Amino acid sequence: MHEYMGELLSPYIDDELNGEERRLVEDHIKTCKQCQEEVEELRFLKAQMQSFYQGIDIPDISFEEAVIRKIQTIEQEQQEVFSWKFWAALAVGMCVIISVLLTLSPFLYACIRVLYTLFNVGARIAHAVMIIALDMPYLTGALIITTLILIIISGWSVSRLLGTKTTG
Amino acid sequence: MDQELFQLIQQAKRGNQDAFSELVKKYKGQVFRHAYAMVNDRMEAEDIAQEAFVKAYFYLPKLGKEYAFVSWLTRIVTNLCHDSLKRQNKKKMIFQTENEAPHQLSNPKSDMEHTQLKLTINEALQKLSEEQRTALILRDMRGYSYSEIADILNIPLGTVKSRINIARASLKREMTRGDEHA
């Protein structure tokens, strides 16, 4: 076999050469008996490979059944693992929450006490204001009169402003 | 790809085990023969083929294009064969005993011509490197084009061409040597 043909003959029998390379090989093997024989040998080898492949006995129907059985076993295991993981995660989560609450309980208790005290102080101040207001008989009247005066002044100011805009 | 096959793949993708069983029935021949040609052991080949289908079932939802199913399955088998051969080589290195060698080189002088042909080419195939054997099986047995092989093995086209070329030269040499002994 000619060396420069060496890398072309194998792809030639596979029909993997481009047009130019193919023509080159075809022209060459017309005149070169050695390369012609090489091509024949390669084709024979290829045919033997195919014959060997076709001669291998294929497993029977138990093959499909075994595959499906394996798939079902894995799926079952995955489900078990999932449910096991779910319950484990839930238990861990609960433990974490409880321990956080227990650790922070003095702080939380102090916060609640502060809030409770503030609320009590606020309620007592409101109560005291109410009592003072009720003890002053003229306070309500004075407040109503002051409010009326303020409303009148506001109304007058608004009408004055509007009047200035229209004339201007 | 025909419509029926496309639908089978889609159904299997959704977890339909009957549809997947049909796919196994359709492709078990290709997958098993490929594995057998690679590892030269029926039991191991059957294990590899089953594992390939099991893997395919669980990863099928991730397969984007249905038409690529067969080459994708071939890639899975190729990888599993590689893992199996690696394991075998490790075992051989650790426990190199006399019992293992004759298993692969048994009885070349059979009465049946077909069996003799099978053994001869099989023996020669096993002498090739794993890379060369894989490329040659994909080309001559599975019928993939060079570019498809490059895609399956994730190697350049030139490498495929050279692996097949060298594999054939080695195979021819090994088989001629076999003839000389016979």
**The domain that contains B42 carries what CATH number?**
1.10.1740.10
pLDDT at B179: 58
**Do B10 and B85 lie in a common domain?**
yes
Q: Let me know: does B53 contact B82? Beta carbons within 8 Å.
A: no
**Do B150 and B126 lie in a common domain?**
yes
Q: Give the CATH number, domain containing residue B156.
A: 1.10.10.10
**Do B10 and B79 lie in a common domain?**
yes
pLDDT at B108: 44
pLDDT digits (tens, 9 = 90+) for A26-68: 999 999 999 999 999 999 999 999 999 999 999 999 999 999 9
Domain boundary among B103, B125, B152: B103
- Give the closest-approach CA distance of A82 to chain B in angstroms: 16
* Confidence check on the interface: ipTM exceeds 0.90, yes or no: no
Domain count, chain B: 2
**Do B86 and B14 lie in a common domain?**
yes
Structure tokens at A73: 């076993």
| Arithmetic mean of pLDDT, B146-155 | 96
**Do B3 and B87 lie in a common domain?**
yes
Domain boundary among B84, B103, B122: B103
pLDDT digits (tens, 9 = 90+) for B74-132: 999 999 999 999 998 888 778 765 565 555 444 444 444 555 554 478 888 999 999 99
Sequence-distant (≥ 6) Cβ neighbours of residue A101 within 8 angstroms:
A108
**Do B75 and B144 lie in a common domain?**
no
Q: Which residues of chain B have a CB within 8 Å of the CB of A49? A: 121, 125, 136-137, 140-141
What is the domain partition of chain A in residue ranges? 138-168
| Arithmetic mean of pLDDT, B24-34 | 96
pLDDT at A108: 85
Residue-range definition of the domain harbouring residue B109: 105-182
**Do B14 and B39 lie in a common domain?**
yes
Mean pLDDT of chain B: 86
Instruction: Identify which of B46, B139, B172 has the shortest CB distance to residue A14.
Output: B139
**Do B115 and B69 lie in a common domain?**
no
Q: Which residues of chain A have a CB within 8 Å of the CB of B46? A: 59, 63
Domain boundary among B80, B103, B126: B103
- Give the closest-approach CA distance of A95 to chain B in angstroms: 35
pLDDT digits (tens, 9 = 90+) for A119-156: 999 999 999 988 887 777 677 788 889 999 999 999 99
> Chain A within 8 Å of B172 (Cβ-Cβ)?
yes
**Do B76 and B163 lie in a common domain?**
no
Residue B175 pLDDT greater than 70, yes or no: yes
| Residue pointed to by tokens 């057998």 | B36
pLDDT at A43: 95
Alpha helices in B2-111 (DSSP H): 3-13, 17-39, 42-59, 69-94, 100-104
Residue B13 pLDDT greater than 80, yes or no: yes
**Do B79 and B32 lie in a common domain?**
yes
